[in-house]
């Protein structure tokens, strides 16, 4: 293990010279953890997440982390994460599908407990019949608990979102967890080029006193700080305290946007702003959407892409603006419920323009041709043979 | 930081809440108090919304008075009656989700070890029978298997008190409770033997009839957890509401159960035994 030097977060993320490596998404996540000065990681195996937490275990064994263990199950893992973060440590965990749902009671209470942490969500099928394939319906379960939810398209995003995730989650005016989601296998087990910050530089350690709520460590006066809302006092107090506390969580969530702008170049990426027809997609579907834009342009069709990086906070304004003149909006997804299509429909005035789909689920791949069929439909093109390229 | 954080900055005494000033001046921070003097010093927990005459509330009062180092202690609780008093005490308290105590405590204790390797910070879980042995069973057991350095205290009222009197795994066989309309079908779980098997280094079972003994047990459990590994106290703390025990009969009931199935029992590893022999022989040298 090289000796690591602490460097300012902005310097590390935005200014250091990057080195290009051809690695898997799982490696990219572990490499980000390596540079994030993480104190403790807590793991529980599930495919396809396991690869990430094996690698994090390895870097702990090499000395990059201070503590690491295999928990009893995900509810225990996520509860222990809450304990460690309240004790002032910087922590990391990752899970997939059924593991995420098993840990969800704990995870969904992290925002309310003001737990700044990064959770890797490497998606896979939930519900029956069970399978390990990369369906991403589980992301929809995270959308209403208050945490920041980022969706990575590829290995590079996984590295960038994970490293910046720690910084964003610990900002005093944010101080809620960040989920870094990406499709299992398609990203976690496949290789891509990743430009990485130098291995011998790491983030400054967490300063748990730079916080809107104190850590629970018996270090700051006065002796008893009521960090937990005293909801049992009376019904009235209970309504009120819960209400204002949750308002603050959601305000924190919105305040994360300025840091998403700063560290990740904004919550969306737009390809071909003047397009007539847009593909709006997140995660792996954005990669396929990107290909569809290339196909369409080769055929002289004016198609653009809105890649959504941040699902929470959801960039309503930005999306509304880009789509204001769109004739049709195609939302390809890796799940049956179409959670992204619903989000998009809810934030634009012309929701009729949204073509929900194509959707693949059960972990199937998303052929570009499926997206192209929707593109042709949008332009009213009838083709006997739809696959052109 | 410990004591430093319960010191009032000079000049600020008159601006601090009276309760807080009293705690600092007449409380137990930095001192050892005699539990038999309860009522004569400023206690860490005073007002709480538990039922009048509840024996669990009494046990909690004695527990706080017995803490070897309250200024460096964090208590972890969960849904259940105990948290009503625990959340009112002048000791930091964490209340997460139902049954998560021993996982939260594992993470917390490890974080404190990372951040303060040379300081003693005590972590104590205090939770109900349902919280520790039913819903949180796996986490309770695994924190012991992993030999995490904190104390677990089960305040066993043999029922889900806080949700209105349902059967728990710790209810005695045959007792008719809510959700057990034909009476409980299986035996009370033997938590003490489980704790020993799972790797606790100090295990005690107690009916709270004698405050001095409660205090000694709590103290031992906390000190042994600091040095050696997980420790466990199984305390009988009756629920006078759900078991219809009139307030004036609560102590009588505790004495009855003490004779019956809650006789004081203490077990520890040889290492812990030796530690206490030395500690209790020369208390002035090895002060907690
Ligand atoms: C996940 C979850 N399930 C159920 C509950 C409801 N609940 C709250 S307290 C409690 C029972 C408490 O019983 P015990 O742990 O024995 O504590 P006691 O109130 O008897 O002291 C239950 C079932 C909850 N809060 N959370
Ligand atoms: S319900 Fe029972 S255990 Fe709970 S506070 Fe009342 S008497 Fe105590
Ligand atoms: Mg109970």
The number of the ligand nearest the C-alpha atom of B132 reads 1
Contacts of A217 in chain B (CB under 8 A): 74, 111-112, 115-116, 121
Contact call for A67 and B114, based on CB within 8 A: yes
- The CB of B154 under 6 Å from ligand 2? The reply is no
Task: Tell whether domain B3-281 is in CATH 3.40.50.850.
Answer: no
Domain ranges, ordered by start, for chain B:
3-281
Partners of residue B128 on adjacent β-strands: B155
Which numbered ligand comes closest to the C-alpha of B239?
A: 2
Instruction: Write out the two tokens for A15.
Output: 């200014």
- Crossing angle of helices A50-61 and A25-34, in 10° steps, is 30
pLDDT value of residue A101: 98
Chain A closest-CA separation from residue B106 CA (Å): 6
Reported residue count of chain B is 288
Q: What ipTM was predicted for this assembly? A: 0.95
Q: Does A87 touch chain B (CB under 8 A)?
A: yes
Cβ neighbours of B138 in A, within 8 Å:
72-73, 76
Q: What is the pLDDT of residues A348-362, one digit of tens each?
A: 999 999 999 999 999
Give the model confidence (pLDDT) of A23-68 as tens digits: 999 999 999 999 999 999 999 999 999 999 999 999 999 999 999 9
pLDDT band for position A303 (cuts 50, 70, 90) = very high
pLDDT of residue A195: 98
Distance of alpha carbon A61 from alpha carbon A69, whole angstroms: 11
Q: What is the CA radius of gyration of chain A?
A: 21
Query: In the predicted model, what is the mean pLDDT of residues A162-184?
Result: 98
B-chain residues near A73 (CB < 8 A): 138
| pLDDT bucket at A186, cuts 50 / 70 / 90 | very high
What is the rounded CA–CA span in Å between residue B223 and residue B274? 13
Q: List ligand 1's pocket residues with C-beta within 6 A.
A: B 79-82, 98, 128-131, 157, 159-163, 168
How much distance in Å is there from the Cα of A253 to the middle of ligand 3? 37
A223/B90 CB distance under 8 A: yes
Query: From the CA of A335, how far away is ligand 3's center (Å)?
Result: 42
- Distance CA(B230)–CA(B106), nearest Å, equals 10
Mean pLDDT of the region A299-308: 97
Q: How far apart (Å, rounded) are the C-alpha atoms in residues A318 and A93?
A: 31
pTM of the model: 0.96
Kind plus residue range of the DSSP H or E element containing B266: strand B265-268
Please report the domains of chain A, with CATH numbers, ordered by start residue: 5-202 (3.40.50.970), 268-379 (3.40.50.920)
Closest to B191 in 3D by CA, of B179, B180, B204: B204
Chain B residues closer than 8 Å to A77 by CB: 103
- Ranges of residues in chain B with a pLDDT under 50 are 287-288
Cα dihedral A216/A220/A221/A227 (nearest 10): -30
Non-local (6+) Cβ contacts of B250 within 8 A are B53, B55, B238, B240
Closest ligand to C-alpha of residue B58 is 2
Closest residue by Cα to atom 11, ligand 1, is B160
Number of A to B CB contacts under 8 A, please give it: 153
């Amino acid at each position: 293990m090289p000796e690591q030097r602490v460097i300012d977060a902005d310097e590390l993320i935005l200014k250091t010279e990057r080195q290009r490596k051809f690695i898997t998404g799982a490696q990219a996540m572990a490499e980000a953890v390596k540079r994030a000065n993480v104190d403790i990681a807590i793991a529980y195996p599930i495919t396809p997440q396991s690869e990430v937490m094996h690698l994090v275990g390895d870097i702990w064994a090499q000395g990059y982390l201070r503590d690491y263990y295999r928990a009893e199950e995900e509810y225990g893992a996520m509860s222990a994460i809450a304990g460690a973060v309240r004790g002032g440590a910087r922590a990391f965990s990752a899970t997939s599908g059924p593991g995420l749902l098993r840990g969800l009671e704990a995870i969904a209470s992290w925002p309310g407990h003001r737990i700044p942490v990064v959770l890797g969500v490497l998606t896979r099928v939930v519900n029956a019949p069970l399978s390990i394939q990369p369906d991403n319906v589980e992301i929809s379960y995270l959308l209403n608990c208050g945490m920041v939810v980022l969706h990575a398209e590829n290995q590079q995003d996984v590295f960038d979102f994970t490293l910046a995730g720690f910084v964003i989650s610990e900002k005093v005016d944010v101080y809620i967890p960040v989920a870094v989601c990406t499709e299992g296998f398609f990203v976690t087990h496949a290789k891509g080029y990743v430009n990485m910050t130098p291995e011998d530089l790491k983030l400054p350690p967490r300063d748990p006193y730079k916080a809107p709520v104190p850590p629970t460590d018996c270090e700051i006066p006065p002796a008893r700080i009521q960090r937990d809302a005293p909801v049992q006092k009376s019904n009235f107090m209970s309504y009120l305290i819960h209400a204002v506390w949750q308002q603050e969580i959601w305000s924190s969530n919105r305040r994360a946007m300025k840091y998403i702008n700063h560290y990740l170049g904004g919550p969306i990426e737009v390809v071909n702003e003047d397009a007539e027809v847009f593909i709006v997609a997140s995660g792996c579907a954005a990669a396929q959407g990107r290909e569809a834009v290339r196909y369409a342009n080769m055929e002289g069709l004016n198609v653009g892409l809105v890649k959504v990086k941040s699902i929470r906070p959801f960039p309503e304004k930005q999306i509304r603006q880009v789509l204001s003149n769109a004739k049709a909006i195609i939302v390809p997804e890796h799940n049956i419920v179409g959670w992204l299509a619903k989000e998009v429909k809810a934030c634009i005035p012309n929701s009729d323009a949204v073509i929900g789909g194509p959707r693949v689920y059960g972990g199937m791949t998303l052929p570009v041709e499926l997206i192209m069929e929707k593109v042709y439909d949008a332009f009213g093109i009838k083709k006997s043979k739809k696959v052109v390229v | 930081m410990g004591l430093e954080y319960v010191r009032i900055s000079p000049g600020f005494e008159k601006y601090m809440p009276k309760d807080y000033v009293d705690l600092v001046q007449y409380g137990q921070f930095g001192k050892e108090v005699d539990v038999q003097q309860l009522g004569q010093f400023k206690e860490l927990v005073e007002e709480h919304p538990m039922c009048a005459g509840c024996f669990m509330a009494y046990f909690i009062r004695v527990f706080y008075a017995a803490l070897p180092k309250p200024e460096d202690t964090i208590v972890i609780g969960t849904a259940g009656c105990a948290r009503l008093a625990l959340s009112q005490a002048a000791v930091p308290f964490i209340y997460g989700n139902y049954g998560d105590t021993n996982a939260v405590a594992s993470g917390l204790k490890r974080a404190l070890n990372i951040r303060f390797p040379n300081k003693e910070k005590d972590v104590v879980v205090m939770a109900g029978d349902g919280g520790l042995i039913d819903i949180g069973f796996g986490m309770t057991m695994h924190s012991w298997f992993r030999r995490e350095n904190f104390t677990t205290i089960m305040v066993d009222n043999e029922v889900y008190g806080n949700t209105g009197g349902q059967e728990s795994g710790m209810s005695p066989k045959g007792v008719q409770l809510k959700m057990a309309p034909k009476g409980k079908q299986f035996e009370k779980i033997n938590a003490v033997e489980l704790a020993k098997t799972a790797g606790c280094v100090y295990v005690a079972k107690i009916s709270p009839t004698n405050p001095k003994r409660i205090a000694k047990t709590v103290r031992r459990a906390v000190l042994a957890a600091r040095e050696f590994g997980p420790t466990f106290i199984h305390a009988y703390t009756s629920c006078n509401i759900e078991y219809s025990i009139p307030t004036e009969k609560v102590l009588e009931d505790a004495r009855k159960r003490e004779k019956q199935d809650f006789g004081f029992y203490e077990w520890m590893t040889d290492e812990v035994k030796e530690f206490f022999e030395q500690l209790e022989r020369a208390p002035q040298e090895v002060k907690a």
